[in-house]
């Protein structure tokens, strides 16, 4: 019987680090990806909800058989199950693999593929719930005659913007 290490692909580990806005930085993700053995890291700024990500598209087009696309967390690659599975199918068709460092995902195994599909569904549900809560909050604010959102952010107060950047950095690296 083969052990897990003997089934590992022999290609390159290629990291993908994505943040949602230009104000965020990919450094924390890059540190984790390098520690995992990624020599090449592709960076991108763009919403996880958007499929229009040129750096990811180029990476998937150019990845070679045996290579593994590595992300820190599943939500750095995709926020919808459909997009996630589309990327994985493209990688699989090229003989490449996918791995998430913080999620138990390794597409070289059937269990890893199953985990990927389950976690993708959870990520999509979480995004839908956040959207519902945000819309409900906006409706509630409007019903009370108030503007929705954080007044400090809306008015671009430096202390509020600094707190937001700090929270984003802590949450997304």
Residue by residue, pLDDT tens for the chain (173 residues) are: 434 443 455 799 999 999 887 778 889 999 999 999 999 999 998 776 666 788 999 999 999 999 999 999 988 888 677 777 788 889 999 999 999 999 878 887 888 878 877 877 877 788 889 889 989 988 998 899 988 878 888 888 888 888 888 777 665 54
Catalytic (active site) residue 20: yes
Task: Please compute Rg for the chain using Cα positions.
Answer: 19
Q: Cβ(35)–Cβ(173) under 8 Å?
A: no
User: Residue 50: what pLDDT?
Assistant: 64
Q: In 58-153, at which residue ranges do the beta strands (DSSP E only) sit?
A: 68-71, 97-100, 105-106
Instruction: Report how far residue 10's alpha carbon sits from residue 29's, in angstroms, rounded to the nearest whole number.
Output: 23
Give the residue extent of every domain in the chain. 4-119, 123-172
Give, for 18, the enclosing helix (H) or strand (E). strand 13-19
Residue from 20, 115, 131, 166 carrying the catalytic annotation? 20
CATH superfamily label, 4-119 = Resolvase, N-terminal catalytic domain (3.40.50.1390)
Q: What is the pTM of this model?
A: 0.63
pLDDT at 4: 41
**What pLDDT shows up at residue 97?**
94
- In this prediction, residue 5 carries a pLDDT of 41
| pLDDT value, residue 171 | 54
């Amino acid at each position: 019987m083969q052990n897990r290490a003997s089934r590992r692909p022999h290609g390159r580990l290629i990291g993908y680090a994505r943040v949602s806005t230009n104000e965020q930085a990919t450094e924390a993700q890059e540190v984790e990806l390098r520690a995992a053995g990624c020599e090449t890291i592709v960076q991108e700024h763009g919403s996880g909800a958007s499929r229009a990500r040129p750096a990811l598209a180029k990476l998937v087009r150019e990845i070679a058989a045996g290579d593994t696309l590595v992300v820190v967390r599943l939500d750095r690659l995709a926020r919808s199950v459909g997009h996630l599975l589309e990327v994985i199918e493209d990688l699989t068709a090229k003989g490449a693999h996918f791995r998430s460092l913080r999620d138990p995902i390794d597409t070289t195994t059937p269990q890893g593929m199953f985990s990927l599909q389950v976690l993708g569904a959870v990520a999509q549900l979480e995004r839908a719930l956040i959207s519902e809560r945000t819309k409900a909050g906006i409706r509630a604010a409007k019903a009370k005659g108030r503007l929705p959102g954080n007044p400090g952010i809306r008015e671009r107060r430096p202390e509020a913007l600094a707190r937001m950047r700090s929270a984003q950095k802590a949450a997304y690296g």
